[in-house]
Amino acid sequence: MTSRPPEDDCSALESPRLGEPYLLTPGPLTTAYEVKRSMLRDWGSWDDDFRAMTRHIRSELLSLIDDVEGLYDCVPMQGSGTFAVEAMLGSLIPHDGKVLVLANGAYGLRAARILGCLGREYTLIDKGDYLPPRGEEVSQALADDSAITHVIAIHCETSSGILNPIEEIATATQAAGRKLLIDSMSAFGALELSCQRICFDALVSSANKCIEGVPGFGFVIVRKAVLESSQGVSHSLSLDIFDQWQVMETTGQWRFTPPTHAVAAFVKALQLHKDAGGVQARGKRYTDNRDVLVAGMRKLGFETLLKDRWLSPIIVTFFNPVHEKFNFADFYQLMKDAGFIIYPGKLTVVDSFRIGCIGQMDTHVMQRVVEAAGQALLTMGVDNPAPSSRAMDVRDALAV
């Protein structure tokens, strides 16, 4: 194998040479060439080599949460991230449990929907499109309802890009003696989540977000004591975390066909993550990406949905310009022609679009994204991309 520069060196960015556009989306995202190349062979699912890969990813993922006492284990689960969320909720919440769902976007609402499908009782704090659930609200809700056993929080709500105050939420949950489950799908691997600082029962993430692997599986990191008491809880055979864990512990295998190529790609992605400096370095690269993106877009006249305090380094929501010549479909196509796939917005109140900061990209790429956006405005004849006054009112309501 020829040696390549480390992934965080911009010269290692391979996508343009392959003629692919950059995916400025929150997963699937642009992966390193070496990650793609590691899928060029086949593995037998029962073979020792593959079992060793499964063992390796489980222990490497655990090493990211600072679990010095060895209290947690990692259970991978086939499917997209939502499958792993459903597996976590269905396997770890007892049938007589009750969940406080903290929602401020599509993923929080999806967790509530899953609980509805599973027939688990829940109560919802819905903060709308972009306001963060705060610690005091959690404390109050838990004090008001002694039946609540679990809280589910979304670490980074990818639909707006808001970084939720997970420490505050964890502190409130722990103080009330309840259990915290975290959807850290789009944050894990880039934002620190130490079990020494944040008390949680389980977190869930997937292969194709900040670790920069390809889609195919998710994983749940769970307290072993919780796993041990979860036998027979799941309503589902295939989404049973306890059963998957037992079989992996005793045979080293996944229960059903594993996504072998995605696992191989993930082994490589984890190695690149570690070589580049781990969670801190990954978070810094994404933060730098965001800073260049936001500064450049604001200079062009675009406005972000969120004030700086709540902007995650994962994905940023911008308001659509109110200018009569702006139209998202044209903007999207012009950005794509320039080599960048962006993302439509997911807000219910105002029109917006999103640009992701995660994946194999650095500030040089983000600078070119800004230039492409400026060029697209020129082509469309939009001399001022300012949003509607209604959009600015929405933002000013974010008084925190």
Ligand X SMILES: *Cc1c(COP(=O)(O)O)cnc(C)c1O
Contact between 355 and ligand X by CB under 6 A: the answer reads: no
Least separation in angstroms between residue 338's CB and ligand X is: 25
Query: How many residues interact with ligand X (rule CB under 6 A)?
Result: 13
DSSP string, 134-184: -HHHHHHHHHH-TT--EEEEESEETTTTEE--HHHHHHHHHHTT-EEEEE-
Q: Please list every residue from 195 through 254 that binds ligand X, using CB under 6 A.
A: 206
Contact between 272 and ligand X by CB under 6 A: the answer reads: no
Contact between 164 and ligand X by CB under 6 A: the answer reads: no
Q: Among 218, 220, 282, which residue's Cα sits nearest to residue 91?
A: 220
Q: Nearest residue to ligand X, using CB?
A: 81
Contact between 82 and ligand X by CB under 6 A: the answer reads: yes
Q: Among 109, 151, 107, which residue's Cα sits nearest to residue 312?
A: 107
Q: Which stretch binds ligand X (CB under 6 A): 55-63, 70-78, 179-187, 384-392?
A: 179-187
Six-digit token string for 42: 């086949």
Tell me how far CA of residue 186 lies from CA of 114, 158, 358, 395, in angstroms: 19, 7, 9, 23
Least separation in angstroms between residue 158's CB and ligand X is: 3
- Compute how many other C-beta atoms are within 10 angstroms of the C-beta atom of residue 307: 13
Using only C-alpha atoms, the chain has a radius of gyration, in whole angstroms, of: 21
Contact between 186 and ligand X by CB under 6 A: the answer reads: yes
Question: Please, which residue, 217 or 319, has the CB nearer to ligand X?
Answer: 217
Contact between 26 and ligand X by CB under 6 A: the answer reads: yes
Helix (DSSP H) and strand (DSSP E) numbers for the chain: 14, 14
Contact between 78 and ligand X by CB under 6 A: the answer reads: no
Considering only 81, 161, 313, 387, the residue that binds ligand X (CB under 6 A) is 81
The backbone torsions φ and ψ at residue 7, rounded to the nearest 5 degrees and listed phi first, read -60, -30
Assess contact for 383 and 394: CB atoms under 8 A: no
Contact between 86 and ligand X by CB under 6 A: the answer reads: no
Question: Please, which residue, 283 or 321, has the CB nearer to ligand X?
Answer: 283
Considering only 183, 212, 303, 362, the residue that binds ligand X (CB under 6 A) is 183
For the CA atoms of 49, 55, 56, 61, the dihedral, rounded to the nearest 10 degrees, stands at 150
Q: Which stretch binds ligand X (CB under 6 A): 65-73, 183-191, 192-200, 289-297?
A: 183-191
Least separation in angstroms between residue 156's CB and ligand X is: 6
Least separation in angstroms between residue 186's CB and ligand X is: 3
Q: What is the spatial distance between Cα 207 and Cα 219, in angstroms, rounded to a whole number?
A: 8
Contact between 27 and ligand X by CB under 6 A: the answer reads: yes
Contacts for 149 with CB less than 8 Å, ≥ 6 apart: 93, 94, 97, 98, 99, 178, 179
Catalog residues that contact ligand X under the rule CB under 6 A: 26-27, 80-82, 85, 107, 154, 158, 183, 185-186, 206
